[in-house]
A = this chain, B = another copy of it.
């Protein structure tokens, strides 16, 4: 949305020609911006959904990502690009804003100029060391959305005492993200021990009959414990965003 259109609208609000709710509604519903011939950025997603449009890095050219990030960066305090390979990042780093930070493990690019007071309550757990990139994507996302995140990594069910030892930490959390590959049992076990909702994110860690995360996905969907909902395989971002959305519920 161009600035003068917003200005016009707001002046109409001040003068009483337009009601506040009506103006808010139109700001929430309408605007987006064209970038090149390949993207229509939803510039008011932040207003409507609480966080600006997130860029899915995979399948976009280096050129496209550069243009999109720069445009988003002009309009927003926070920018997130997920699934950005180290190779593409290396190509474009010079053309990005100076305050853009690339996180290797979760392959995410972050710009964060907001000074958010962090809401506690989110715990991100994962079953094995190989699951940490996904867990980190979740944690990073939740942090960028204004949350303070506890991490509890490598607590798979083959050594249950590592998990039971952390029961107080688990019980204190308001929302828990559990990332696990292979048989994905950690989600059920954690959920059975707490009364917080669990966002389960299956990872593609494993081989053979894990079928790139299918085994963990199915296990999590079929949990015998209630209070679990599942996001896509390796979708740390989705899990983090869902957890953040839940954790801010009491602000409504």
Contact = CB atoms under 8 A, between A and B. Distances in A.
Which of A130, A154, A174, A202 has the most chain B CB atoms inside 10 A of its CB? Answer: A154
| Total identical chains | 8
B209 A30 contact: no
Contacts of A159: 32, 40, 42, 45, 53, 192
A113 interface: no
A218 B222 contact: no
A249 interface: yes
Interface residues of A, number: 101
Given A128-B56, A185-B183, A245-B195, A219 B221 contact: no
A155 B197 CA distance: 22
A197 to B, nearest CB: 5
Given A30-B161, A30-B165, A158-B188, A197 B245 contact: yes
B174 A252 contact: yes
Nearest to A57: B130
A188 B182 CA distance: 11
Top 3 nearest A-B pairs by Cβ distance?
A208-B233, A59-B130, A229-B229
Interface of A: 29-32, 37-40, 42, 45, 48-51, 53-54, 56, 58-60, 64, 68, 83, 127-130, 132, 151, 153-162, 165, 174-175, 181-185, 188-189, 191-197, 199, 202, 204-235, 237-239, 241-242, 245-247, 249-250, 252
